[in-house]
Amino acid sequence: MTYGELVTLGEQKLKEANINDSKIDAFLLFEHIFGISKSKYLLIKYDEIREELRDKLDEFDEKLQLRCLNIPLQHITGIQEFMGMDFVVNKNVLIPRQDTEILVENAVLTITEEIEKENPRLLDMCTGSGCIAISLTKICKLQNTIAVDYSNAALEVAKENNQKHSTQINFINSDLFTSLNGEMFDIIVSNPPYIRTEDIRELMPEVKDFEPMMALDGTSDGLEFYRKITKESKKHLNDGGFLLYEIGFDQGKDVKSIMKDNGFDNIEIIKDLSGLDRVVKGHKA
């Protein structure tokens, strides 16, 4: 059998199990298990699979079976790339999304162009895997980052990523701000749970059956965390500080008015690459 035939076979198995992205996922599993990149694969596609790689065929098959059960690809490989960095993930954290890179990119701009301060202090609220805190801290060379989550299991993953990327972030278990008495920041970022409870059943099985509900469920109107975090953020932001959120595509107006009601100004709604509202940013006067 050739490498190309193997990948096509994988793709067919996933397709038969009605897996979206069967082509991409079959290749990504192949790449993960065989350690063969796309560019190398294109060159050897028509070659017979080398003898010493044959023992990997079983592993490929086993992992395809898992993917056929709708288990997210990233739970099988244990890795998701975000902002050009690899993050360890498991069932206890939300898998980093490309949409969330919009939040990080805008936070980078805010830190480099608007916060006129040496060593600004960053807080990442509801950090999950730590991908936002870690990528921002690395890109902006921050030295004072705190990241918070309510889930100890998520914090274990975040701490592993902290080590992996040699960042010295202080990961803290806290129910929102309760364990952050007196801590002040120049910028607060958050991708809180924001899916309306009744919309959860509409999500893909990969998400609703395998990702942590706690990271998704934003209560009945999806806005509870924005209300709580915005109210508390006022007390933890230095004057001139910024609050940036990831939001769902239809939450821009509501989150903007929550920020406005809490005294934030210069509130902006920022779109993602598909033209959908994705980030809300506010300034503490």
Q: How far apart are CA 21 and CA 182, in angstroms?
A: 47
We find the least distance from the C-beta atom of residue 203 to ligand GLN, in angstroms, to be 6
Which CB, 161 or 251, lies closer to ligand GLN? 251
We find the least distance from the C-beta atom of residue 217 to ligand GLN, in angstroms, to be 8
Which CB, 7 or 229, lies closer to ligand GLN? 229
Which CB, 141 or 201, lies closer to ligand GLN? 201
- The DSSP annotation for the chain comes to -BHHHHHHHHHHHHHHTT-TTHHHHHHHHHHHHH---HHHHHHHTTSBPPGGGTTHHHHHHHHHHHHHTT--HHHHH-EEEETTEEEE--TTSPPPPTTHHHHHHHHHHIIIII--SSS--EEEES-TTSHHHHHHHHHTT-S-EEEEES-HHHHHHHHHHHHHTT---EEEE-STTTT-TT--EEEEEE----B-GGGGGGS-HHHHTTS-GGGTB--TTS-HHHHHHHHHHHHHEEEEEEEEEE--TT-HHHHHHHHHHTTEEEEEEEE-TTS-EEEEEEEE-
Q: Which residue type does 34 have?
A: F
We find the least distance from the C-beta atom of residue 29 to ligand GLN, in angstroms, to be 22
Which CB, 23 or 97, lies closer to ligand GLN? 97
Which CB, 90 or 144, lies closer to ligand GLN? 90
We find the least distance from the C-beta atom of residue 265 to ligand GLN, in angstroms, to be 25
We find the least distance from the C-beta atom of residue 194 to ligand GLN, in angstroms, to be 4
Position closest to ligand GLN via CB:
194
Which CB, 25 or 99, lies closer to ligand GLN? 99
By CB under 6 A, name the binding residues for ligand GLN. 94, 97, 99, 191-195, 207, 216
We find the least distance from the C-beta atom of residue 204 to ligand GLN, in angstroms, to be 8
Termini Cα distance of the chain: 66
Which CB, 24 or 285, lies closer to ligand GLN? 24
Bridge partner list, 138: none
Mutual angle of helices 3-16 and 22-34, in 10-degree steps: 130
We find the least distance from the C-beta atom of residue 153 to ligand GLN, in angstroms, to be 17
Tokens in use for 244?
A: 């940036």
We find the least distance from the C-beta atom of residue 129 to ligand GLN, in angstroms, to be 12
Which CB, 36 or 131, lies closer to ligand GLN? 131
